[in-house]
Structures are given as structure tokens and as C-alpha cells.
Amino acid sequence: MNRGVAEHSKGKRICKDIIRDKWLYFLLLPGVVFFLVFRYMPMVGLRIAFLDYNPFDPASSPFVGFDQFKKLFTSISFPKVFWNTLKISMLKSFVGFPVPIILALLLNEVSNLKFKKFTQTVLYLPHFISWVIMAGLIRSFANPTNGLINVLIEQLGGKSIDFLTSPSAFVPLLIITEVYKSMGWGTIIYFAAISGVDEQLYESASIDGANRWHKVLHITLPAIKPVIIIVFILNLGNILNAGFEQIFLLYSPLVYDVADVIDTFVYRMGIIGSDYSFSTAAGLFKSVVALVMIVGANKLAKRVGQEGIF
């Protein structure tokens, strides 16, 4: 009886709070509708991965369970695509992960303010340039006949390389250009962490006779360690993101063998080929792996005593 009253009054309190905040809910409404329609409806749409979707009569699409996934993993192309994705994304991380850390530490040692600011300005710039433009630049520079890179290679006595069509040169090209575009922007997060270091630590270290290298090793690096871990977790969550726009804009059938990744595969199978269920299954597989990776990495970080991202 008492409990009933308590629950009743709790319900009343909630109603009262909601009425009090009605204008806040009013402000929130468009955003909630947006997320429901444009973020959650596509998640509902993932169900076609379990159907044999018929675009002309969607209602009659039969339920096929995990058949699309079976088809995916027994196909000739998908295991290769999956491997390409992993390979490109891991190579990009392996090369690209330490670069911003090193740049931030080195730039932190630059004492001339104007020079430092100038360097930061030019380092951040490529982040704001679209991949379409970057791809245009890459095509122009890597052109086998008059591209600057090949002209230089030839002047040095080498043989011109067609980076965009050569399977052995294409993946290195992807990695280098990705690092080029993202390394500067990547330093920002480390600068933020370095700025949080107490100046007195450096001063007392100097008094104790520490040199620059000691200070980096024992003060700056430990200070940015949590950020390094966060970036690492985010990288793991992106393990199946090999860089869709970049590859999409640069690849061609000649390099499908090494550069076709899950996203490009989904695009060709789904949008071009209209094989909706099959391509959605590939996309769903990717989304699930990303979710598992990021949640797992976050748990791991917490287990070893670090702050995770959520």
C-alpha cells in the first residue's frame, strides 16, 4: 500500500518535472527526430542483411537468416577485400600513429614563437583540403609522364613509376598521402595535453640537471600517455576504415587486387550492382567489428588502469 503511494507520487513528480521543462523538450524535439530518422532508421534498415531483398517488391523479400553472411565469407572476393582493409588500415596506423607524437614533441622544442605558429599553420592545412583536391594533386604529381615525382625520379636516373596503376606502388602511395594529410591535425590533441603539464616540473628537473631529452622522457611523455592511449583506442575502432574517400578517388580496376576494401566493395556491390542484401551484410559485418573493437579496447584500457573514452 505504502509502496503504491510512493510510486504514484514518483510518477507525479516525473510528470511535474516534464511539464516544468516542456520548453526544453520542445528545443530537443527536432534533434531527437533527426537522430531517430537519419541515424536509427538506417540501423533498422540493416535487417535487409538477413533477407533476400527484392527491390521491386520489398514486402515479398524472404527471410534467409545468415545466408548472406555465408555467401560473403565463402565468396572469392570478400576474404581478399577484408584482408586488404585490415592491411591498409593497419599499415596506415603503424606509420601514422607515431608521426604526430614525434612532431608534437619536436615542435614543442621550437622556441621561436613566430616560426612555431607558422609551422602549425601549414601543418594543419591539408586537414581542411578535401580528398577530391588531394586526389587531384596526387594524380598530377604521380603522373608517369610529366608528374613532378616521376620527373625527379628520372632525373636521378630511375625509371618512372605509375603509382596509380601499379599494385606494388599503390598501397605505399595510400599510406604516404594519408600520413601527409592527417599528421599535422593529429598533433593538436598532443599539444593540448602538453599544455597541461605544470611548468614547475620542468624547472625543478632543470635544477636537478635534467637535459631536454630527460625532460621529454620523464615529464612530457608520461603527461601525454593518457592521450596516446585514447588515440590508440580510437584507431582500433577504425580498424576496418581503410580510408574510403581516398581509395575511392584513387583506385581503378588495375589495383582492385590490393586496394579494394570493404567500403568500396559495398559501394560497388550495393549502389552500382543493386545487390542490396549482400552488400548490407558486408557493411553490417564491418560495423559490428568496429563496435566490438572499440568497446573491447576501451575495456582493456580501463583494466590496465587508464582512462578510457567512455
How remote is the C-alpha of 286 from its chain's centroid? 13
- Verify binding: residue 27, another protein, rule CB under 8 A: yes
Q: Cell digits for 212? A: 631536454
Q: State which of residues 4, 199, 208, 304 lies at the interface with another protein (CB under 8 A).
A: 199
Asked if residues 262 and 82 have their Cβ atoms less than 8 Å apart, the reply is yes
- Verify binding: residue 79, another protein, rule CB under 8 A: no
Nearest approach in angstroms of CB 1 to another protein is 26
- Verify binding: residue 91, another protein, rule CB under 8 A: no
Rounded to an integer, what distance in angstroms lies between the CA atom of residue 219 and that of residue 178? 30
- Verify binding: residue 271, another protein, rule CB under 8 A: yes
Asked if residues 141 and 149 have their Cβ atoms less than 8 Å apart, the reply is yes
- Verify binding: residue 26, another protein, rule CB under 8 A: yes
Among the residue ranges 39-47, 66-74, 88-96, 167-175, the one whose residues contact another protein (CB under 8 A): 39-47
- Verify binding: residue 211, another protein, rule CB under 8 A: yes
Residue whose cell numbers read 566490438: 292
- Verify binding: residue 227, another protein, rule CB under 8 A: yes
Among the residue ranges 65-73, 74-82, 166-174, 289-297, the one whose residues contact another protein (CB under 8 A): 289-297
Helical axes 98-108 vs 77-96, angle rounded to 10°: 10
246: which residues sit within 8 A by CB, 6+ positions away? 131, 134, 135, 174, 177, 178
Residue 85 burial class via C-beta count within 10 angstroms: exposed 0-12, middle 13-18, buried 19 and up: buried
Among the residue ranges 35-43, 60-68, 72-80, 82-90, the one whose residues contact another protein (CB under 8 A): 35-43
The greatest distance separating any two alpha carbons of the chain, rounded to the nearest whole angstrom, comes to: 93
Binding positions for another protein, 105-144, rule CB under 8 A:
106-113, 115-119, 121-126, 128-133, 135-137, 139-141, 143
Among the residue ranges 2-10, 72-80, 85-93, 147-155, the one whose residues contact another protein (CB under 8 A): 147-155
- Residue closer to another protein, measured from CB, 48 or 258: 48
Rounded to an integer, what distance in angstroms lies between the CA atom of residue 57 and that of residue 226? 52
Binding positions for another protein, 176-195, rule CB under 8 A:
180, 184, 188-189, 191-195
H helix runs in 196-261, sequence order: 199-207, 212-215, 221-237, 244-250, 256-259
Nearest approach in angstroms of CB 74 to another protein is 20
Q: State which of residues 34, 66, 73, 94 lies at the interface with another protein (CB under 8 A).
A: 34
Rounded to an integer, what distance in angstroms lies between the CA atom of residue 218 and that of residue 201? 10
- Residue closer to another protein, measured from CB, 74 or 112: 112
47: which residues sit within 8 A by CB, 6+ positions away? none
- Verify binding: residue 56, another protein, rule CB under 8 A: no
- Verify binding: residue 96, another protein, rule CB under 8 A: no
- Verify binding: residue 97, another protein, rule CB under 8 A: no
Q: State which of residues 6, 14, 90, 217 lies at the interface with another protein (CB under 8 A).
A: 14
- Residue closer to another protein, measured from CB, 93 or 276: 276
Closest Cα to residue 307, out of 247, 251, 229, 216? 229
